[in-house]
Amino acid sequence: MLNVRDLKVHFPVAKAGFFARRQVVHAVDGASFEIPRSKTLGLVGESGSGKSTTGLAILRLIKPTSGEITFDGRTLGDMDSETFRAMRRRMQIVFQDPYSSLDPRSTAGEIVRFPLDIHALGSNAERKERVAEVFSLVGLRPRQMDLFPHQFSGGQRQRISIARALVLQPEFIVCDEPVSALDVAIQAQILNLLSRLRDELNLTLLFISHDLGVISHICDEVAVMYLGKVVEKAPRHALFRQPLHPYTQALFSAVPTRNPELKGAVKRIRLQGDIPSPINPPSGCRFHTRCPIAQARCRSEEPQLTEQASDHLVACHFPGQDISVAG
């Protein structure tokens, strides 16, 4: 359904002085993955790993520096704006912050109806009917259409965002941290809503989150990003049962858990320091500065994403080594 090949997004940084060298943030630096139809791919990583930028670049809300994105067999980069606009009807996004992603001066009904107006779909009455339809689909009452965003709670606002994404009957939705800003009890409501809608409407999702619990719950496949690159990608169960990349292992072991089964299974690994700056990413394997099993080869030679087990891709020279011993 969606195929991303070697996607790069670089942002120039303001120069420090007239003669200073222009610096570039390598936000996404060669990310590749594909999502089969009606599957959900989870994109997980820490802040600064490039997961949100990847989501935005797929929808061309940010212009990619290079790389190829094909949607339903057609390359998005080559399209003229008219064709792309028609394509965008089939691809939507739900943002993280339900407070800043809704226009405070429009009513909930107007916000959800706006995509229909832009694409000039249906008559006035049909648009109204469609808006009421999506409202009940996401668990809002149609009579709430006349209320303004500030009159809704955080969870309800996220329902409005989801309704806005669904109104054009898209096939593919990027969910960029859709539950991170919500309270725990509300998170469960929205996650259940998203999984139900995905099954009912046969949606393909790119689900971006830093929360491994959320990711493990909703995704079929998971890609782990570190400093702009996908370092590991596998079906959910394979990844959670046996993470092969040392970064993935460290990430899993850092999640606080009350599950004794997991507590025993995952040995404590502590990474030192913070994620390095994407302005000058480390040479070779980008993780080598924090990796407990890094060797000379990791500093000079960049590992490629290769298949270690069926459908289980890892970019590491020494995949699957027990890093808790070294750490």
Partner 1 sequence: MTADNTPASNETTVLEVDGLCVEFSMRGKQVPVLSDVSFNIDHGRTVAIVGESGCGKSMTALAIMRLIPSPPGRISSGKILFKGENLIEVSERRIREVRGRDISMIFQEPMTSLNPVYTIGDQIAETIKRHQAGSAASVRQQVLDLLRLVQIPAPERRISEYPHQLSGGMRQRVMIAIALACEPALLIADEPTTALDVTVQAQIFDLLKDIQAKRGTSFILITHDFGVVAELADRVVVMYAGRKIEEGSVEQVINDPRHPYTRGLLRCMPQIKLDPVLAAEPLAEIPGTVPDLLRQSKGCSFAPRCPSVTAKCIEMPPMVQLGEQRSARCWLAHEPAATAEQYV
Taking the complex as a whole, the smallest distance from the CB of residue 96 to partner 1 amounts, in Å, to 14
Q: State yes or no: residue 46 binds partner 1 (CB under 8 A).
A: yes
Stretch touching partner 1 by CB under 8 A, among 17-25, 204-212, 281-289, 295-303: 204-212
Nearer to partner 1, 72 or 220 (CB): 220
Side chain identity at 326, as an amino acid letter?
A
Q: Which position among 270, 279, 283, 301 is part of the footprint of partner 1 (CB under 8 A)?
A: 270
Stretch touching partner 1 by CB under 8 A, among 143-151, 158-166, 237-245, 311-319: 237-245
Taking the complex as a whole, the smallest distance from the CB of residue 275 to partner 1 amounts, in Å, to 7
Nearer to partner 1, 47 or 295 (CB): 47
Q: State yes or no: residue 150 binds partner 1 (CB under 8 A).
A: no
Q: What does residue 26 show for φ and ψ, rounded to 5 degrees?
A: -90, 80
Nearer to partner 1, 110 or 211 (CB): 211
- Could you tell me which residues come within 8 angstroms of residue 14 by beta carbon, excluding any fewer than 6 positions away? none
CA 177 vs. chain centroid, Å, equals 7
Stretch touching partner 1 by CB under 8 A, among 15-23, 109-117, 234-242, 319-327: 234-242
Q: State yes or no: residue 24 binds partner 1 (CB under 8 A).
A: no
How many chain residues interact with partner 1 (CB under 8 A)?
A: 46
Q: State yes or no: residue 183 binds partner 1 (CB under 8 A).
A: yes
Taking the complex as a whole, the smallest distance from the CB of residue 109 to partner 1 amounts, in Å, to 22
Window 243-262: contact mask with partner 1 (x via CB under 8 A): -------xxxxxxxxxxxxx
**Neighbour tally for 124: CB within 10 Å:** 10
Q: State yes or no: residue 214 binds partner 1 (CB under 8 A).
A: yes
Q: State yes or no: residue 216 binds partner 1 (CB under 8 A).
A: yes
Residues that bind partner 1 (CB under 8 A): 46-47, 153, 155, 183-189, 191-192, 195-196, 210-214, 216-218, 236-237, 240-241, 250-262, 265, 270-271, 273-275
